[in-house]
Amino acid sequence: MRTTNGPQLSTAENVHGKSGLDLPGGAVLPEPTMSLRSQHAVDFIIDTLMTENSRSITLCPTGPLTNIAMAMIREPRIIPRIQEIVFMGGAP
């Protein structure tokens, strides 16, 4: 759907809940293992891939792939360091 200002975001909140991961009766998720980062996601992706063992990282994005794409453009040397990218894509 387009508006005069460009594409309008369309969500499935009625299906997946407000967070996108909500389950009937509430989501049961493990406690976080790291604190929130002030670092931009693009920089975090680059830093992580450049410091970890080569091809030891699997990226599993749960949303748009913009940050991964921007990281690859900004630092192309990360591309061969990614073991795999696993995601489920879809469209309304």
* Residue 91 pLDDT level (bands cut at 50, 70, 90): low
CA–CA distance, 50 with 60 (Å, rounded to integer): 17
- When pLDDT is averaged across residues 3-19 and rounded to a whole number, the result is 71
Q: Residue 68 in 3-state DSSP?
A: helix
Chain CA centroid to CA 74, Å: 17
Give the predicted TM-score (pTM) of the model: 0.64
pLDDT in tens, 71-87: 999 999 999 999 999 98
pLDDT in tens, 23-67: 767 667 789 898 988 999 999 999 999 998 888 899 999 888 999
The letter for the amino acid at 1 is M
Return the bridge partners of 59, or none.
Answer: 85
